[in-house]
A = this chain, B = another copy of it.
Amino acid sequence: MLRTGEQYVEGIRERRHAKIYVMGKRVTDVTTNLFLKPSVLAFKATFDAAFQEDTRDLARAFSPFINEEVNRFVHIHQGPQDLVAKVKLLRRLSHKTGTCFQRCVGWDALNTLYIVTGKMAERGDGVYRERFLKYLEHVQRRDLALAGAMTDVKGVRTLRPSEQPNPDAYVRVVEERDDGIVVSGAKANITGVAAVDEVVVLPTRAMTEQDAAYAVSFAVPLDTPGVVVVVGRQINDARRMEGGDIDGVPYMAHHEGLIIFNNVFVPWDRVFMYKDWRWTGPLVEIFASFHRQGYGGCKSGLGDVIIGATYELAKTIGVDNKPNVADKLAEMVFLNESMYSAGLAASWEGSKLLKEGGWWVNPMYANVTKHLVARFPYEISKLAHDIAGGIVGTAPSEFDLKNEEIKNLLEKYLQGVPEIPAEERLRLVRLLENVSVSVGFLIESVHGAGSPAAQKIMFNRLYDYEKAGEIAKALSRIKVTVKWPKAPEPRRPSESEKL
């Protein structure tokens, strides 16, 4: 079943028992709360896309699990074309929302669990696959909005889960019952968490045997007893509450939050991993690569918004054709398309991890994608600020433009070329400000899907240095008898191979 955006909104509006806090207050209807409404609208765009002419084909896919069309955001990838379609869809949705639309983490979690539980089944333990396939059917039939919850709060960063002074610094099983498990802990930085139907929880790192109680994956509805959500602040968030229609760009935004599991009961049929610590490493690698690939789409889409706003602002003062502006615009395009190119490569070079499918992205290029994303957006923003001018940091409020005492003066002095009114320029300035210094384009680009150090670790793991060394030695004739080595093609992550 495909839900419309309206149906999604109605669905979460009724979820009044969920304990959600925003700016110090409990919120019972997230769809009308001024802080959260822009996030709900961005989430909603993922549903609407399946019904809009320009995205309909990209946003739908045929699911062999329920034998009908589903929203792509709950689809299990059936081949490289699906992986490519993901990246292209994300880029387009960034154009429609100008923000993170928050539905990818849950999607990537589904694809990850499909592969991992499938792999477990291939090794003889089919119970998790059975449960997961039922859950997948539940999700696809209802077109659910899911959050994926991975990052634990982690406490002391240098200690393993079982060594922490606070034993709940990582989510863990505190009680095993006949009918299920009881979990405790919290997940941080959870994208869109207040605007979803359910949350899928994954372990955040490779665990050792001592950490077995922390090797747990499960799904719960957001209004499950014991679940508490505290929504985080973002740059410029307070403007949303001002009631204007320019400065706060109230149309769409995203949010991230802390989700706390305060002794939450989870029935067995929603538990997808428990104590199987050996599978945590592969799970994390598989998920991370999926999510890193996606950034090639959504962040380049935000890049388009920034390039577009910058280009229009250059027009407002008549400099869009000046050589140094054209040169900087070309640089922005280059940086932006680099991120997208890598995302496409990660998709096209995907491979099958299960006999019956289980398509995964190429991890080397997925990591390249994310690492480019961790660097280039700051450059893109700097170039945008450079071209757009100091006005990005000094423009008056929309309320000044509406004040009759000074309205005329402002219209006179904010105008550049005569054809474009001052208000239009102000709207573009605010859009540029709100996107180019947003959490979504800057901080999330660094940390989302793992910080840069995590990608560096993967580069060292995925690249075959020994092969490269053999190539070098052969060329320098150190061992003339050596036969030509194979090229150092990216390899599967070692952890996955072992299993």
Contacts and interface: CB of A to CB of B under 8 A. Distances in A.
Interface string A144-176: 000000010111111100000110100000000
A481 to B, nearest CB: 14
Contacts of A228: 406, 409
Contact of A403 (B24, B349, B382, B442): B24
A470 interface: yes
Contacts of A126: none
A228 to B, nearest CB: 6
Given A235-B236, A236-B238, A453-B324, A444 B390 contact: yes
B465 A307 contact: yes
Contact of A92 (B381, B414, B452, B487): B487
B327 A324 contact: yes
Nearest to A58: B487
A397 B409 CA distance: 38
B487 A304 contact: yes
Contacts of A412: 166, 168
Contacts of A405: 21, 26
Contacts of A230: 396, 400, 406, 409-410
Given A305-B475, A315-B469, A390-B448, 15 more contacts: A21-B405, A95-B487, A166-B415, A188-B390, A188-B413, A189-B393, A230-B410, A304-B471, A305-B471, A334-B456, A337-B459, A342-B345, A344-B344, A348-B348, A386-B446
Interface stretch (A66-74, A134-142, A416-424): A416-424
Contacts of A245: 477
Given A156-B417, A230-B410, A397 B338 contact: no
Contacts of A430: 476
Contacts of A231: 396
A385 B447 contact: yes
Given A188-B413, A308-B470, A476-B430, A341 B319 contact: no
Contact of A24 (B400, B446, B467, B485): B400
A157 B451 CA distance: 31
Contacts of A249: 475-476
Contact of A338 (B327, B372, B393, B484): B372
Interface string A220-250: 0000000010111111101101100111010
17 contacts: A22-B397, A95-B487, A151-B390, A232-B394, A233-B394, A238-B238, A305-B471, A305-B475, A307-B465, A334-B368, A337-B364, A378-B379, A378-B382, A386-B453, A390-B448, A431-B472, A432-B472
A233 B396 contact: yes
Nearest to A389: B447
A484 B46 CA distance: 14
B242 A238 contact: yes
Contacts of A431: 472, 475-476
Contact of A484 (B96, B348, B389, B409): B96
A7 interface: no
Contacts of A311: 465, 468-469, 472
A331 interface: yes
A368 B337 contact: yes
Contacts of A241: 238
Contacts of A157: 317-319, 416
B318 A341 contact: no
Contact of A333 (B25, B324, B410, B460): B460
A416 B156 contact: yes
Given A393-B444, A468-B307, A456 B258 contact: no
Given A166-B412, A442-B385, A465-B307, A472 B396 contact: no
A311 B165 CA distance: 22
Contacts of A54: 484-487
A391 interface: yes
A18 to B, nearest CB: 14
Contacts of A453: 324, 386
A395 interface: yes
> Which of A88, A241, A337 neighbours the largest number of chain B CB atoms within 10 Å of its CB?
A337
A347 to B, nearest CB: 8
A365 interface: yes
A446 to B, nearest CB: 5
A415 B344 CA distance: 39
B428 A472 contact: yes
A63 interface: no
A459 B490 CA distance: 29
